[in-house]
Amino acid sequence: MSSAKLPQYSWFNPREVEYRLPDNWQMTVHNIAGYDKPPLTPEQIKKAVASPIGMPSLREYAKGKKEVAILFDDLTRSTRVFEIVPYILEELAEAGIKDEQVRFIAAIANHQALDRASLVKKLGEDVLRRFPVYNHCPFMNCTDLGTTSYGTRALINSEVVYCDLKIGIGQIVPHPQYGFSGGAKIIVPGVAAYETVVAHHGRTHEPWKQERREHGLPSGGYIEGSPVTGDAVEMAKMAGLDMIVDCLVNVWGETAAIYAGALEPAYAEALVEAKKHYLSVNTGDNDIVIANAFDKAAEYSMAMSSAMPALKPGGGDVVIITNSPSGQDIHHLFDSFGKSISGALGRSMGLPPHIGKLIIYTEFPELRILDRYIDKDKVLLMSDWEQVISLLEKTHGSGTKVAVYPSADIQYYG
């Protein structure tokens, strides 16, 4: 048997796991270009935070500010926020900002709220002892800031709006609707009202999106210049986002680069590197695609955008590997909340006709995630890797071409 070793269990003692495949299959492994880029040292992180792009140093910029909101992403992203926060707090202290002027807000968008254990993973124990940490709630306490040129009413977390200094910490990785995440996404959908995100995301779910999906193409179709990103940037400006700290991550979710500074210049500089860093190879001629979700293991569906176009046009099977001990994140926009009820944009997805079987392999199965698919007869939820291989061997013999993507949830093909 040949094998592929893949990173697993993001946020839960991450480690490499070996997945064995038949010797008579032709396996190729396609990493992202920057998969082995080393993590930044503390000195490098400090330098990036202290020398922001397109704005004065934070210790200068923050002088005279009264109230500070530090926004951060949740456990559906591997961003090591705890590595960055000490240097932001150091800059704020140099500006004369006292602890009582600072609060942290989890920019969870429409995901489930973070409990204390999750917040400690993200921020570290010291932050929870020193500062109030809040979850954004998309269902209440949002302030109307007006309407964007795209027609989206900008309702933003009132605590964020109240603060006169707003700093967002997240990661920039490929995203099926935005092209690349990061930047303005820390505001929208991060701390936006439910109805704002419904309107904002809704325009990414026009009928042509499903047509693209059925042809095995990413649903967004953008690398940059997405109108969804443009809409988010307008709302981030309306909310007064002062500074972003966006990370590039390697195959282990470690901080491989940081782009800190004013929203547009810092994001533009990050995007240049991100387009090189996350690039992977698509031969487009595979009988089986094995797509691993690590960075977004709690949102396994993000790996589908990479898996679908890597199959040969004549069809084949997809295996998504997604091992998140905390389970799949609850998404109030897209998830089902009963056999007949779902979030505002929850609708079952049709699989492209060239996918024979979609196998979702996880050690932590949740039957509810099958509600996301119309073609339930083609989708299998499995927890035994030997059974996965046995099933595939019934239709795939010697010479089967298999592409393995260790970072399928954060890669793109250019």
CATH number at residue 18: 3.90.226.30
Please check whether residues 49 and 21 belong to one and the same domain. no
Q: What pLDDT was estimated at residue 117? A: 98
Please check whether residues 61 and 163 belong to one and the same domain. yes
Strand partners, 320: 291, 360
Averaged confidence pLDDT in the chain: 93
Distances in whole angstroms, Cα of residue 125 to Cα of each of 18, 131, 201: 33, 10, 34
The domain that holds 209 is classified in CATH as 3.40.50.11440
Reported as type and span, the H/E element at residue 166 is: strand 165-171
Q: What pLDDT was estimated at residue 221? A: 57
Please check whether residues 204 and 343 belong to one and the same domain. no
Reported as type and span, the H/E element at residue 225 is: none
Domain boundary residue, one of 277, 303, 331: 277
Please check whether residues 202 and 106 belong to one and the same domain. yes
How many whole angstroms separate alpha carbon 196 and alpha carbon 230? 14
Q: Give a yes or no: residue 216 inside a domain.
A: yes
Torsion region of 90: left, alpha or beta (phi above 0 gives left; psi -120 to 50 gives alpha): alpha
Beta pairing, strands 355-361 & 379-382? parallel
Domain that holds residue 191: 42-277
Q: Using an 8 Å Cβ cutoff, are 221 and 177 in contact?
A: no
Q: Give a yes or no: residue 105 inside a domain.
A: yes
Q: Using an 8 Å Cβ cutoff, are 22 and 401 in contact?
A: no
Q: What pLDDT was estimated at residue 205? A: 41
Task: Copy the structure tokens of residue 82.
Answer: 């705890």
* Dihedral angle sign, alpha carbons of residues 151, 217, 172, 136: positive
Please check whether residues 17 and 60 belong to one and the same domain. no
Please, which pLDDT band fits residue 215 given cuts at 50, 70 and 90?
very low
On whether the pTM is more than 0.85, the answer is: yes
Domain boundary residue, one of 277, 301, 329: 277
How many whole angstroms separate alpha carbon 161 and alpha carbon 105? 12
Cis ω on the peptide bond leading into residue 189 (within 30° of 0)?
Answer: yes
Half-sphere exposure of 213 (CA within 13 A, CB side): 19
The residue-averaged pLDDT of 369-398 equals 94
Q: Give a yes or no: residue 170 inside a domain.
A: yes
Please check whether residues 263 and 313 belong to one and the same domain. no
| Listed range (243-247, 304-308, 392-396) with the worst mean pLDDT | 304-308
Please check whether residues 269 and 306 belong to one and the same domain. no
How many whole angstroms separate alpha carbon 293 and alpha carbon 297? 5
Q: Give a yes or no: residue 36 inside a domain.
A: no
Please check whether residues 229 and 307 belong to one and the same domain. no
Please check whether residues 240 and 120 belong to one and the same domain. yes
Q: Give a yes or no: residue 302 inside a domain.
A: yes
How many whole angstroms separate alpha carbon 374 and alpha carbon 209? 16
Task: Copy the structure tokens of residue 192.
Answer: 């936006």
Please report where in the chains the tokens 């810092």 appear, as a residue.
Answer: 266
Max mean pLDDT among 87-101, 190-204, 303-317 falls in: 87-101
Please check whether residues 93 and 192 belong to one and the same domain. yes
* Count of domains observed in the chain: 2
Domain boundary residue, one of 233, 249, 277: 277
DSSP assignment of 30-97, as one string? ---TTTTPPPPPHHHHHHHHHS-BTS--HHHHTTT---EEEEE--TTS---HHHHHHHHHHHHHHTT-
How many whole angstroms separate alpha carbon 122 and alpha carbon 33? 26
The residue-averaged pLDDT of 364-375 equals 90
How many whole angstroms separate alpha carbon 176 and alpha carbon 151? 22
**pLDDT for residue 208 is more than 60:** no
Q: Give a yes or no: residue 37 inside a domain.
A: no
Please check whether residues 26 and 57 belong to one and the same domain. no
Please check whether residues 141 and 167 belong to one and the same domain. yes
